Each structure stands twice: as C-alpha cells, then as structure tokens.
Amino acid sequence: MARFFRACLFLANTLVIVLGVSLCGFSSAFLSNASPNAVRTDLFPKDVLYGFLTLGIACLIVSAHGCFTGYKASRPHMVGFASLLLLIVAAQILLAFVTLSHSRSPLGPVAQIWNTASQAERAEFESFFGCCSLNGLADNLGNSSSPTSQHQPDEDLVAGSLAATSAASAASAESCSATGLPHCLPLMAHHWELLTRTVGLVILVLSLIPVSAVVIAAGLWINTAAKPKGDRVSIIGSIDTFDEAFVMQAAEHKRFEPGTGSNDDDR
C-alpha cells in the first residue's frame, strides 16, 4: 500500500509543478505584455499578477521537497511537506477571492488605465475593442499636461486651457458620433470583469491539486507509521537469535576442549 501512495505522491508533485509553471508563465506574460494580445494584458490587476508569480515559485520549491519526501518516505519530511502545501492552499484561495473581488468594480481601474495610457496605447485599445473614446467626454488630457498645471497659472492661460479642452472634447465627441462606434469604457470594463472572474474561479478550482497532495501525503504517513517499529522488532529478534546461536556454539566448543570434564567423561 505504501508503494501505491508513493506513486500517487509523485503524480501529485508533477501536477503541483505544472501548476507552478502555469502560474509563473501566466503572470510573466501579463506583466511583460508578451502575450499575443498585449492590449488585453493591461486589463488585469497587477497586484494579483505579482501574487500569482510568488505562488508559482513557491509551488515549484515545495514540489521539489515533495519529490524528496516521496523518495525518502520519511515521516518528518511528510509532515513538513503537508504543512507547506496547506500554506499554498490558503494563499491560493486568498488570491482567488482577491481576483474575484476585482471583478465587482471594474469602471475605476479601467478609467485609470485609460487616463495613464499614451495616445498610441489608447489607439490600440480603440482598435482592439472597436470603440472610440473612453466615454464620449474628455479623455483626461492631463496625460499631455502643460507646465501651467504644476504652477500657479495666469488667468488668461487658464481661460485658454479651458477653451482648448472644451474644443478637444467637442471634436472627440463629434468624431466618435460620426463613426458610430461605441465608447470604450463599457467594453473594457466588461473585459476586465470577465477576465478577473474567470481567472479567479480557475485558481479556486486548481486549489484541489495541492489539497489532493496533502491527502496523499497523509495516506503515505499512515502507511509508513508502523514501519520503524517492525524494523526494530526484526532487528532485535535477529540479535537475540544470533546471541543464542553464539552461546550454543561456544558451549559446544567448550565441551570438546581437552582437559574439560565433558571430554574426560567421553574418554
């Protein structure tokens, strides 16, 4: 039975390794915008991505320890391995709920991403989602702000800036209404909500992998618990048998030694 649990433990460790590699690859692709659709990778919370990267590295380290535990079949190593897996399960469930919480209010993060994006990045968003402008209003022209926004401006400069902003807003709204394209805010918010909800549910379901590894480690611990006692009894029995055989051989040898009573009686 112990061999069966050891084989299952190696299989569970393989799945934990796959989980770790997947988390590291997913987070690295989104953080570096290396995915085929780089625009879509911007619409995901960065704090969750760093959490995924840390969790993936932890999975790889713990899985290496699990392979060593399965090879040695040592009870202390099994306890340590199961404890680390329980920590991974807790962190994974926490990250899943944090990811799901980001899907409840997507408008704020999406608007912030749009406002901090350059004109080229906004054009990529519009091309990808097939939309025009964020919400038909001014798209935070502070991205290309002038020095007057950082110092106390003159009244004439303020009036000129407001007039330019109003003109730009009117031109943007007119151009978007002429194209007939929808605004980008609801489309980007829907994408943010769908992506965070899907990833959160997937991470929550994948927490069953380390949970199964914990169960298998517990089964292996139970099946190897009586093994040291059995080895000790067999070793003690072997020593007693050896001692008994040695005593009998010594007595037999002493019986046939010259000058002993047993030898004289035989003569």
Per residue in 127-181, pLDDT (tens digit) is 888 888 877 654 444 444 333 333 344 445 334 433 443 444 445 555 676 666 7
What is the C-alpha to C-alpha distance for residues 203 and 210, in angstroms, rounded to an integer? 12
pLDDT at 75 over 70: yes
State the chain's maximal CA–CA distance in angstroms.
140
Residue (of 137, 140, 135) closest to 184 by Cα position: 135
| Residue 160 pLDDT | 45
Quick one: what percent of the chain has pLDDT higher than 70? 64
**Of residues 68 and 21, more confidently modeled:** 21
| Residue 115 pLDDT | 86
Q: What is the CA radius of gyration of the chain?
A: 36
Give the position of tokens 């406002």. Answer: 115
By CB neighbour count within 10 A (0-12 exposed, 13-18 middle, 19+ buried), where does 125 fall? buried
| Residue 186 pLDDT | 87
